[in-house]
């Protein structure tokens, strides 16, 4: 059985003080909860150190929202895997659709970051997904397959240390959500592609999150699908009660 994983992507929200308060509220909801779901919060870079301190003694893991592939160098505004690790980070989101569309990240760039994250002992959460135009053109399978093969090239068995997040771009922040059937169809496709890349045993062990407007009222039905192993949560992760409700829906 795969352990479900629910990660909150806070995006460019919450100052360090606000992050500390939100984590305290999340802990008030989840500390002591007997639930096998793995929980992660991913604040902005400037709040990571405060978040690491606020999470001490809890079972909630700390994640970052991106990183650079290089170990160091003249990359103004970037952070390395080693910097994240020393701050207390255990997970890192890579290839989020906003990074791909707004900042021009390619599959090759995501692959380089994934290799660096794994080398540093981080757990990468690697995002793939199609736009509305691509879905309406019946290109979902082609787009997702291409992103997976490009972003995961050369990883082999190291894939078992990764988490994949399927995020239909048309359902991020729009209030639109893929139906459980639509989401399951793509998650099953992703697992088939992972099997091509690393074999069935590895593919069966990889967690695949759903990342398109998962909310308390649809989380249980989505996570009940055979290939949906949790959620990458955006807006609903910014409120302790809604984030906790999603975690509890996976218990």
> What DSSP assignment string belongs to 17-77?
HHHHHHHHHHHHHHTT-----EEEEE--GGGHHHHHHHTTTSS-EEEES---SSSSSS-TT
Q: Are 125 and 232 contacting, i.e. CB atoms less than 8 angstroms apart? A: yes
Give the DSSP H/E element, type plus range, for residue 191.
helix 180-198
| Bridge partners for 93 per DSSP | 125
> At a CB cut-off of 8 Å and minimum separation 6, what does 70 contact?
78, 80, 116
Cα 167 to Cα 126, 128, 164, distances in angstroms: 10, 6, 10
Residues annotated as part of the active site = 96, 167
Q: Residues 5, 219: contact at Cβ < 8 Å?
A: no
Residue 81 CA to residue 90 CA, distance in Å, equals 10
Q: Count CA within 13 A, CB hemisphere, residue 83.
A: 16
Whether 49 and 84 have beta carbons less than 8 Å apart is answered as no
Question: Would you give the distance in Å from CA 87 to the centre of its chain?
Answer: 19
């Amino acid at each position: 059985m795969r352990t479900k994983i629910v990660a909150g992507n806070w995006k460019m929200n919450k100052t360090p003080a606000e992050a500390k308060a939100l984590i305290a509220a999340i802990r008030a909801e989840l500390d002591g909860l007997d639930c096998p779901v793995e929980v992660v919060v991913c604040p902005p870079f400037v709040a990571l150190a405060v978040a690491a301190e606020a999470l001490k003694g809890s079972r909630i893991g700390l994640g970052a929202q991106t990183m650079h592939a290089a170990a160091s160098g003249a990359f103004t505004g970037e952070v390395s895997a080693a910097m994240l690790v020393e701050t207390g980070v255990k997970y890192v989101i890579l290839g989020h659709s906003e990074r791909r569309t707004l900042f021009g990240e390619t599959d090759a760039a995501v692959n380089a970051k994934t290799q660096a994250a794994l080398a540093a002992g981080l757990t990468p959460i690697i995002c793939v997904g199609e736009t509305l135009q691509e879905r309406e053109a019946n290109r979902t399978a082609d787009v997702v397959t291409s992103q997976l093969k490009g972003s995961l090239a050369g990883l082999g068995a190291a894939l078992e240390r990764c988490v994949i997040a399927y995020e239909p771009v048309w359902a991020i922040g729009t209030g639109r959500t893929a139906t459980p059937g639509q989401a399951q169809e793509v998650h099953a496709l992703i697992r088939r592609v992972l099997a091509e890349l690393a074999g069935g045993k590895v593919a069966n062990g990889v967690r695949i999150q759903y990342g398109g407007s998962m909310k308390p009222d649809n989380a249980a039905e989505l996570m009940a699908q055979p290939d949906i192993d949790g959620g990458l949560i955006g807006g609903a992760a910014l409120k302790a009660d809604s984030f906790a409700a999603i975690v509890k829906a996976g218990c």
